A = this chain, B = another copy of it.
Amino acid sequence: MNPILCLSLLLLASGTFAYIQEGPSSLSVYALRLGPGEEIVTSLFKFVQEKKLRAPFVITCVGSVTKATLRLANSDAQNTNEIIHLKERFEIVSLVGTLNEDAHLHISLSDKDGKTIGGHAMGNLEVFTTAEIVIGELSDLQFTREMDERTGFPELVIRPRSENTTSA
């Protein structure tokens, strides 16, 4: 049996944890500044690959974009999520998520009236003037994505680095 699955079943049986958790880990931190025309998701992806980060996530992000492609929340079981392509100047008011091979990023953007729009960041986040981003990397853990039968998606799996598992 897969040791993570085994652990999960044990924890479920013990009634204390249903979720998967790892830590404590120490943290290394990186800071980036993107300029006009750079795309945020691609840049973060490149950065993670170049630095060979294994458990990276966004700590904070401030900036502005001229475009965004967002996948919106699911409406119901029958309908797939709508994807919208925005072409407008926005302030980034939040960027959250994890950054390993399949980044899982959600964003909220405010427009010229202060109105906010949010969803899953698919890409196309072209910087207007700047994007200042602080990235954390958990030194003792590694993130992978593995198929979760319950959701039909590859979902985050968190492991100690001491376990001999390959990460992209």
Contact = CB atoms under 8 A, between A and B. Distances in A.
Central interface residue in A30, A62, A95, A116, by most chain B CB within 10 Å: A62
Interface in A46-102: 46-47, 50, 55, 57-62, 64, 70, 72-76, 81-82, 84, 88-98
23 contacts: A18-B35, A19-B33, A19-B35, A21-B32, A23-B31, A24-B28, A26-B28, A29-B136, A31-B143, A32-B158, A35-B155, A36-B151, A61-B96, A62-B104, A64-B73, A73-B109, A73-B111, A76-B89, A93-B118, A94-B108, A95-B96, A108-B108, A130-B153
A41 interface: no
In the A-B complex, the 3 residue pairs with the closest CB atoms:
A23-B30, A110-B118, A62-B97
What size tier do the contact residues of chain A reach?
35 or more
A99 to B, nearest CB: 10
Interface in A1-38: 16-36, 38
Contacts of A93: 94, 96, 106-108, 118-119
